[in-house]
Amino acid sequence: MTAVEDVLARVHREEWARLVAVLVRRFGDLDVAEDAAAEAFAVALQKWRADGVPPNPAAWLTTTAGNKALDRVRREGKRDDKQKQAHMLTDQLSGPPEPTGAVEDERLRLLFTCAHPALAMEARVALTLRMVGGLTVAEIARAFLVQETAMGQRITRAKAKIKNARIPYRVPEAADLPSRVDGVLAVLYLVFNEGYLASGAESDPVRADLTGEAIRLARLVRTLLPYDGEVAGLLALMLLTEARRGARVSASGELVTLDQQDRGSRDRGLIAEGHALVRERLASGQAPGRYQVLSAINAVHTDAADARDTDWSQVVALYDQLVRLDANPVVALNRAIAVAELDGPQVALAQVDALRGPLDDYHAFHATRADLLRRLGRSADSRAAYDRAIALAGNSAESAYLTRRRDELGASGAST
Amino acid sequence: MHYLLTVVGDTDNPADDSAPGAIDAFNDRLKDEGRWVFAGGLTDPADATVTDNRGGDPVFSDGPFVESKEFLAGFWVVTAADLDEALALSVDASRACHRKIEVRPFDGVA
């Protein structure tokens, strides 16, 4: 990448959501805001290459995007009914209202708006990843294991409902926050996961920008709702996972599995903070939700000085609790991975095989099967499962890891 | 902006009349707040007749347009600035008539 592209990538990360939020507030339309923001970045690429990066890139983008949006509104205003034109005009004359409320951060305000309870949960998450996270539709589609066209339609429908039903772009009042927070947490978790195991074959295997943004926003949500157990749980989960980020990809760009990771390279500060949150939740005596259970599982993993010291019976017990809260096949798959450590690969394989129906297109299902089959000495079956996992894996570090494991299998298979 | 607040009736779960006057009170409030446009309760879906004159030879058939355990029991048409306001009204409407309420914006009102 050239220097200009580097700067632009960084500015995109840092400014996309703020830019979209400012435009939505000014023009009251998500489509206008998103298109104008995207256009401004496209113009920036050309202009900055020719003229150099302006002294204040964020201000330059805001001005450029604002002009693009204004052009579009004027252009469409001519075809639109007079009433709407008058409405836009009065809005601009009186200046954009400056909403104040519980949510001060511009990005968080956009986040809560996209998580409006009148939208289906999946639409909230998709829309927020697009508008707040700045992810492409293709990236979001991969994160959800759906086709890009289907995801595009989902986002389009959500925007249409916001426009037609007039979902307001408004700072949630304190009383609205609890009902909005579930969707916001789901969004942050998906943003974090996309960063932690980036799905694009072209993108960096770990996108610290996304994990960092998800953590930053989770911290902000926690300042708003300090007594919400799931907010604390999700923040703890992210911190404990993020603490291992540096150990997860080898120098050669290959995924390092949990049991092989250098535990000394973990971020002790994040682990201490995460453990403190988990302890705080345990001390509360309240029944935990799924993020709190997931953070407790991660606390067990990070408690062990060595992978062999992991308290697997506690991990399985926590997964049992998680299955009761959230009986989805991915949870069952992760539980089976822990069962393999406790009861052996044969028992785990039977549980994994039962999940084929819902998970046949999920790379981790085949990667897990491949590993269990390898441990059971079923080399040919294992190879086939690795092949399938490699074909489905989007993450470059994961593909490299799976390919090496498969090829090792081939070498030993040929010699025996 | 006009919203249709549809009262969703349910044959499996008939009306609860434990709060008489609640709907009248809600209607009065809508009028006081200047949100009232029009409202009405409907008789049983069995009283419905469907007219089909698309072929130029009108056919009248007895019963509602769709066989369903849920049916249109009544409605309000209200004015509200945005969906949040309309949803806040629907919360009170649902309590007043002890029914589920569907909220839909009008595309236009003649």
Nearest to A206 by CA among A241, A178, A158, A232: A241
**Encoded amino acid at A314, one letter:** Q
The full set of domains in chain A, from first to last, is: 4-92 (1.10.1740)
Mutate to test the interface with B, among A163, A166, A170 (most CBs of B within 10 A): A166
DSSP secondary structure, A299-347, as one string = HHHHH-SSGGG--HHHHHHHHHHHHHH---HHHHHHHHHHHHHHH-HHH
Q: Flag whether residue B1 sits within 8 Å of chain A, measured between CB atoms.
A: yes
Q: Return the residue in B82, B90, B101, B103 with the most chain A beta carbons within 10 A, the one to mutate for interface testing.
A: B82
Token representation of residue A411: 């070498």
Please state, as a whole number, how many other Cβ atoms lie within 10 Å of the Cβ of residue A84: 12
Does the pLDDT of residue A39 top 90, yes or no? yes
A397: amino acid identity, one letter = A
The more confidently predicted of residues A92 and A42 is: A42
- Residues from chain B that touch A101, judged by Cβ atoms under 8 A, are none
Q: Could you give the CA distance from residue A379 to residue A409 in angstroms, rounded to a whole number?
A: 7
- Shortest CA distance to A189 belongs to which of A288, A121, A247? A121
What pLDDT score was predicted for residue A81?
Answer: 53
Chain A residues within an 8 Å CB radius of B81 = 166, 168
Across the interface, whether the CB atoms of B83 and A167 are under 8 A apart is answered: yes
> Which residues in chain A (88-127) have CB-CB distances under 8 A to chain B?
116, 118
CA distance B91 to chain A (A): 13
**Residue at token pair 């949510």:** A103
For residue A288, the number of C-alpha atoms closer than 13 Å in the C-beta half-sphere is 25
C-alpha span between A314 and A278 (Å, rounded): 15
User: Angle, to 10 degrees, between the axis of helix A57-79 and the axis of helix A82-93?
Assistant: 150
The minimum CA-CA distance between A176 and chain B, rounded to whole Å, is 10
Distance from CA of B7 to the nearest CA of A (A): 18
A166:B82 CB<8 A: yes
* Cα A167 to Cα A64, A171, A364, distances in angstroms: 27, 12, 38
CA distance A222 to A191: 17
Which residues fall within 8 angstroms of residue A384, CB to CB, at 6 or more apart? Answer: none
Question: Nearest CA to A198 among A183, A210, A186?
Answer: A210
pLDDT tens figures, B37-78:
999 999 888 888 888 889 888 888 888 888 888 889 999 999
| ipTM of this complex prediction, to 2 decimal places | 0.82
The predicted pLDDT at position A313 comes to: 94
B82 touches A: beta carbon within 8 Å: yes
Q: Which two tokens stand for residue A94?
A: 């009186």
* Residue B62, strand partner residues: B49
Q: Amino acid identity of A89?
A: L
On the CB side of A379, CA atoms within 13 Å amount to: 10
| Rounded Cα distance, B85 and A168, in Å | 9
Classified by CATH at the fold level, domain B2-105 comes out as Alpha-Beta Plaits (3.30.70)
pLDDT at A99 over 70: no
In this structure, are residues A7 and A48 in contact, taking their beta carbons and an 8 Å threshold? yes
Please name the member of A118, A164, A170 whose beta carbon is closest to the beta carbon of B87: A118
**H-state helical runs in A80-176:** 82-93, 106-114, 121-131, 137-144, 148-164
Report whether pLDDT(A89) > 50: no
Segment A313-320 mean pLDDT: 95
A165:B84 CB<8 A: no
The verdict on B83 touching A (C-beta cutoff 8 Å) is yes
Find out whether A205 and A249 touch, Cβ atoms under 8 Å.
yes
- Judge: B83–A165 Cβ closer than 8 Å, yes or no: yes
Identity of the amino acid at A358: P
Letter string b/e over residues A292-309, b meaning 16 or more CB atoms within 10 A of that residue's CB: bbbbbbbbbbbeeeeeee
Quote the CA–CA distance of A21 and A65 in Å, as a whole number: 12
Q: What is the pLDDT of residue A416?
A: 42
Task: Measure the CA dihedral B21/B27/B33/B35, to 10°.
Answer: 160
Question: What are the beta bridge partners of residue B71?
Answer: B9
On chain A, the residues whose CB falls within 8 A of the CB of B82 are: 166-168, 170
Q: Does A165 touch chain B (CB under 8 A)?
A: yes
State whether the Cα torsion A334-A340-A345-A346 is positive or negative. Answer: negative
SS3 (DSSP) at A404: helix
Q: Taking CA atoms, what residue in B is nearest to A168?
A: B82
pLDDT mean over A268-294: 95
* CB contact B104 to A (< 8 Å): yes
Domain ranges in chain B are 2-105
Q: How far apart are CA A333 and CA A317, in angstroms?
A: 14
* Cα–Cα distance for residue pair B18/B94, rounded to 1 Å: 14
The pLDDT assigned to A203 comes to: 65
Instruction: Tell if the CB–CB gap between A168 and B104 is shorter than 8 Å.
Output: no
Tokens of B65: 């347009």
Query: Residue A415: what pLDDT?
Result: 40
- CB distance from A167 to chain B under 8 Å? yes
Give percent of chain B above pLDDT 70.
100
The tens digit of pLDDT for each residue in A196-231 reads 876 666 667 777 877 887 898 899 889 878 889 999
CA A244 vs CA A22, A231, A360: distances in Å: 35, 21, 28
The phi, psi pair for B79, rounded to 5°, reads -105, 140
Chain B contact set for A118 (CB, 8 A): 83, 87
Strand partners, B72: B8
